[in-house]
Homo-oligomer: A and B are copies of this chain.
C-alpha cells in the first residue's frame, strides 16, 4: 500500500475498442480540426480481444496533468492530447460545481492507459487510445452529449471507436467541423455471423507514420482528390446498403477494392509510401484464389498503414480459411502463440482446393492471428480493483 492516500481522489476506469475501416480514411482537409477529405466506415472490434483500458483520476492535490501509456510517462503537452483535454474541460464547465474535485475542471488529472495487444501488431492503437481517453474524461467530468467530435481531434479514426458495430465517420460540411462526427450504421448485434481475423505479418521495415503519410498524399497525389470526390461517396452508399442487407459478397468486394485504392493512393504519393510487403501481396493472392475456387467472395482482406491483414468473413467460412492460412503460412511457433481470440472449429482442407490455389507455402510468413468479431463501444469498468492508478494517484505496479 502507498503511504500517500489522497482523501479527495476521484477515479474512473473505462475500456474502448479498436476499429478497422472498410472504407478508408486517408487525407485531411483541415489539419488542426482533423477534418477528412472523405467519409469513412469501420467495424468496431470486440473488446474481449483488443482494447485500451484507461484510468483517469482527479484530485485537488495534483500539481499538473500527467499521462502514462503502457507503463511509461509521456509528454502531456502533445497538441492532440491538449486538444482533447481542453475540449472536454470546456464542455464540463457547463455543469454545476458540486464540490467534488472532478466538478472543478481546473483540477489536474492523472491518466494511465494500457493496451491489451502489442503495439508491434500495428493495429491503429491511437484510435482506441483517444476514444478511451475522451470517453473516460467524459465519465469523470460527467460530460454528456456527442463525444466523437472531441475524439476526432485526438486521432481522426478515434471518433469511430466511440460506437460499437458498424460506424461511419461523416465527411461534414461545416468549417468548424461540428458535423464531421461518427454515427452508428448498425449495432454489433445486427450481423452476428460476421467474423474478423487479424493476420499479424512478419515485417522487416518500419513504415511511414499515417499522420505524415496522409499529409504527403494530400500534397502530392493527383489521384487522392479524385478518389475523395468521385469514388468514396458512391462507395459509402453501397457499403451502408451491403451492411443493411447483410450482403457479404458485396461487403467483401467493396472492402477489398477500397483497401487496394487506399494503397494505390499511397503509391501515387511522392515519394511513394509502401505499407504492403511481399507477405501482404501473398495474402491478397491467397484470398482471391480462395474466393475464385468457390466462385464467390467468402473472405475479404483490408490493410491499414502497415503490412498486417484484417480478414472479414462469415462464421461458416472462417474455420476452413483459418486452415488455409495455416497451410500456406505454416507457423513455426506453438498453437497457443499462433492462434489467439475466439476459438474456431477444426476444419479439413480438400486436396483439390490446395492444388487449385497453387501457391508455394511461406513458413513463418504470419507471426500470429487473432480471431474476433464486431463488438460494442466504450464501457465503464465497475470493479475498483481494475483501476490502473492507486490510492496515491500514481500507476499501480501491475499497470507498468
Binding site for B on A (CB under 8 A): 204, 222-223, 226-227, 230-231, 253, 256-257, 260-261, 263-265, 267-272, 274, 276-278, 281, 284, 288
- Pair B278/A260 contact, Cβ less than 8 Å: no
User: For the complex, what is the distance from the CA of A264 to the CA of B267, rounded to whole Å?
Assistant: 5
User: How close is A224's CB to chain B, nearest CB, in angstroms?
Assistant: 10
User: For the complex, what is the distance from the CA of A261 to the CA of B257, rounded to whole Å?
Assistant: 17
User: How close is A239's CB to chain B, nearest CB, in angstroms?
Assistant: 15
- Pair A267/B270 contact, Cβ less than 8 Å: no
B residues in contact with A268, CB < 8 Å: 260-261, 264
User: How close is A187's CB to chain B, nearest CB, in angstroms?
Assistant: 30
Identity of the chain B residue whose Cβ is nearest the Cβ of A227 in the assembled complex: B223
Known: A226-B223, A231-B222, A278-B278. A284 touches B264 (CB 8 A): no
User: How close is A318's CB to chain B, nearest CB, in angstroms?
Assistant: 21
B residues in contact with A265, CB < 8 Å: 264
Query: Beyond A264-B265, A264-B267: 19 further Cβ-contacts under 8 Å?
Result: A204-B278, A222-B231, A222-B261, A223-B223, A223-B231, A253-B270, A260-B269, A260-B270, A260-B272, A261-B267, A261-B268, A264-B268, A267-B267, A271-B284, A271-B288, A272-B284, A274-B276, A274-B281, A278-B278
B residues in contact with A257, CB < 8 Å: 270
27 A/B residue pairs, CB under 8 Å, sorted by A? A204-B278, A222-B230, A222-B231, A222-B261, A223-B223, A223-B231, A223-B261, A223-B264, A226-B226, A256-B270, A257-B270, A260-B267, A260-B268, A260-B269, A260-B270, A260-B272, A261-B267, A261-B268, A263-B267, A264-B264, A264-B265, A264-B268, A267-B267, A271-B288, A274-B281, A277-B278, A277-B281
Chain A interface main SS type: helix
User: How close is A262's CB to chain B, nearest CB, in angstroms?
Assistant: 9
User: For the complex, what is the distance from the CA of A282 to the CA of B293, rounded to whole Å?
Assistant: 34
Identity of the chain B residue whose Cβ is nearest the Cβ of A281 in the assembled complex: B274
User: How close is A375's CB to chain B, nearest CB, in angstroms?
Assistant: 29
User: For the complex, what is the distance from the CA of A260 to the CA of B220, rounded to whole Å?
Assistant: 12
User: For the complex, what is the distance from the CA of A384 to the CA of B276, rounded to whole Å?
Assistant: 53
B residues in contact with A264, CB < 8 Å: 223, 264-265, 267-268
User: For the complex, what is the distance from the CA of A163 to the CA of B204, rounded to whole Å?
Assistant: 43
Identity of the chain B residue whose Cβ is nearest the Cβ of A272 in the assembled complex: B260
User: For the complex, what is the distance from the CA of A274 to the CA of B281, rounded to whole Å?
Assistant: 7
B residues in contact with A230, CB < 8 Å: 222, 226
User: For the complex, what is the distance from the CA of A372 to the CA of B265, rounded to whole Å?
Assistant: 32
B residues in contact with A256, CB < 8 Å: 270
User: For the complex, what is the distance from the CA of A223 to the CA of B265, rounded to whole Å?
Assistant: 10
B residues in contact with A288, CB < 8 Å: 271
Identity of the chain B residue whose Cβ is nearest the Cβ of A256 in the assembled complex: B270
| 10 residue pairs, one from A and one from B, having the closest CB atoms | A264-B264, A264-B268, A264-B267, A271-B288, A260-B272, A226-B226, A274-B281, A223-B223, A222-B231, A278-B278
B residues in contact with A204, CB < 8 Å: 278
Identity of the chain B residue whose Cβ is nearest the Cβ of A288 in the assembled complex: B271
B residues in contact with A253, CB < 8 Å: 270
User: For the complex, what is the distance from the CA of A284 to the CA of B204, rounded to whole Å?
Assistant: 16
B residues in contact with A267, CB < 8 Å: 260-261, 263-264, 267
User: How close is A329's CB to chain B, nearest CB, in angstroms?
Assistant: 15
User: How close is A289's CB to chain B, nearest CB, in angstroms?
Assistant: 9
User: How close is A254's CB to chain B, nearest CB, in angstroms?
Assistant: 10
User: For the complex, what is the distance from the CA of A230 to the CA of B223, rounded to whole Å?
Assistant: 10
User: How close is A306's CB to chain B, nearest CB, in angstroms?
Assistant: 14
